[in-house]
Every structure is written in C-alpha cells, then in structure tokens.
C-alpha cells in the first residue's frame, strides 16, 4: 500500500479500523460473548455489534460522504454511490466455538462494484488488503492464486452440516472425482485462502454481500475469479446469495458442476 495508489486513503482508513476491530475480537474471544441467535439460526455476539458500530463511527469521521451497510447495523441502503460493506465477524460460529478462523471484513463498493477492501485475522495478525489495479497483499507480501487444476487442488465447501448431509450433487461430484475438499466455518477465511494460493476454489450458496465485498477485490487482484452460480459478475446494488470463487483456471469447471447441482 503506497501513496500513489488512488485508493490509498480508503485502504489506510479501512486498515486502521480492521486493527481496532481485531482488538475487540480478541477481547471477547475467551470470555462471555453475550451471544444471541438470529432468525436464520446464526449467532451474533456483543463483539459483532460493537465492531459494526465502530465501523460506522470511523467511516462517518474519516469519509463522511460514504455510507455503511453492515451485517448488524447500517446507515445507508443498497444502490449507486460509495458504500462500505462490513461483516464485523465473518465466521461467528467459529468465533463462539473458540476456533480462530473468524475474520473482520470491510470492503468499499462504488456503483455496485468492489474497488478496495481489507480483511483481518487478529489471531495471527494477518491483514489482507487490495484495491482495483493495485495488487493483493497479506501484510506486506504480495499474494497470488495457485495455478493448479482441480485434481491437484483443494476446493472449500460449506460448513453447514444439513447441507453436507443433503442430496448435494455438487459435493458428491467433487468426492467422486477424487477432488480434495475442505469444510470449516469462515467464508472470508476460505476466500483469502483461495487468493493466497492455498485452495483452488470455494463454492458456497450461503454467502452474500457482507461476506464478499472485500474478499472479491482481494481475489481478483490476486489473479482469481468470483461470480454467481451461473458464471455471471456479482452486483452489489442489491442483496444476493451464493458465489463461486476460484483461481480462474478451474472456474468454468466449477460453474458446470454447480449447474448439475441445481438441474
């Protein structure tokens, strides 16, 4: 990240917020998290709400023309303009279990397209950041996707037990073809593992705008690809569910396999 980058200020603001959020995540990791359960069956903790409020306050201070769409709290709505999409703790289930795959995510979207973002794992002090045409980084190291094909790579999948147990043609096809799979809580963690070359792909029908805004920039700047299940670009002008993330080389094959799933 350098001052010639046109998104330098935004990345600096987001990075500072991420590190503040990390302090809160660590603070509540091993104590009473005052968790509650949302209508969709996922947990929310005191750390989620505190971080979401922090993001809104910091963006209003530093970039007052911008809005925030957070998973727990927002001060704007979907549509054109500059919107920061925040998942205060992605992988809250992991967080409540004491599993360190939960991450903070904050991405800037302009007119429906992600242009800058940071995600942070405070447990290993790893800050991933990227901006359009500026490259993707893990702390100060530039990262790239792997160039392996499916047979040599690993594909991350949902951690939802009911979905894993259901008649999931896509997952069955992966296993039948001898493709290695990984399943754990934390969509953002899985996305940055694709971006940094650990996984060849990640397919998930539960992810949405909060999960992917920052990750999308990081993945694309690392040389990867992210689309909806039909292989079409994602639009953040309105909510969506589901995405395919890959190193690019295996993308069409994954789209085809997902198509079989929904046929």
Taking only the tens place, the pLDDT of each residue in 42-80 is 666 778 989 999 999 999 999 999 999 998 899 999 999
Q: Which of 102-106, 136-140, 253-257, 258-262 has the lowest mean pLDDT?
A: 258-262
Strand (E) positions, 63-112? 67-70, 82-90, 103-110
Q: What percent of the chain has pLDDT over 90?
A: 72
pLDDT tens, residue by residue, 110-136: 999 999 999 999 999 999 999 999 999
- pTM reported for the whole predicted model: 0.91
* Pairing verdict, β 180-183 and 154-157: parallel
Q: Please report the pLDDT score of residue 202 as a whole number.
A: 97
**Contacts of residue 209, Cβ cutoff 8 Å, sequence gap at least 6:** 69, 85, 236, 239, 240
Residue 182: which of 211, 152, 203 has the closest Cα? 203
Token digits of residue 195: 């971006």
The rounded distance, in Å, linking the Cα atoms of 106 and 15 is: 9
Q: Radius of gyration over alpha carbons of the chain, in Å?
A: 17
DSSP state of 124: T
Number of neighbouring beta carbons within 10 Å of residue 169: 16
Average pLDDT of span 168-187: 86
Q: Residue 138 — φ and ψ, nearest 5°?
A: -115, 110
């Amino acid at each position: 990240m350098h001052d010639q980058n046109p998104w330098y200020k935004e990345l600096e603001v987001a990075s500072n917020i991420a590190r503040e959020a990390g302090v809160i995540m660590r603070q509540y990791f091993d104590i009473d998290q005052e968790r509650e359960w949302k209508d969709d069956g996922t947990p929310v903790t005191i750390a989620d709400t505190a971080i979401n409020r922090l993001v809104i306050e910091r963006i209003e201070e530093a970039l007052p023309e911008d809005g925030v769409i957070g998973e727990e709290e927002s001060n704007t709505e979907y549509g054109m303009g500059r919107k920061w999409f925040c998942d205060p703790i992605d992988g809250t289930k992991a967080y409540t279990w004491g599993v360190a795959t939960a991450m903070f995510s904050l991405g800037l979207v302009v007119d429906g397209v992600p242009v800058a973002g940071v995600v942070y794992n405070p447990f290993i002090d790893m800050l991933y950041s990227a901006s359009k045409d500026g490259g993707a980084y893990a702390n100060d190291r530039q990262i790239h996707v792997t160039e392996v094909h499916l047979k040599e790579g690993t594909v991350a999948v949902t951690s939802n037990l009911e979905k894993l147990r259901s008649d999931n043609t896509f997952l069955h096809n992966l296993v039948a073809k001898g493709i290695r799979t990984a399943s754990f809580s934390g969509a953002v963690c899985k996305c940055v593992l694709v971006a940094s070359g650990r996984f060849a792909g990640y397919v998930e029908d539960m992810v949405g705008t909060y999960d992917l805004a920052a990750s999308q920039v990081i993945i694309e700047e690392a040389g990867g690809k992210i689309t909806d299940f039909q292989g079409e670009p994602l639009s953040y002008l309105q909510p969506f569910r589901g995405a395919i993330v890959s190193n690019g080389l295996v993308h069409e094959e994954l789209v085809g396999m997902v198509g079989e799933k929904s046929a």
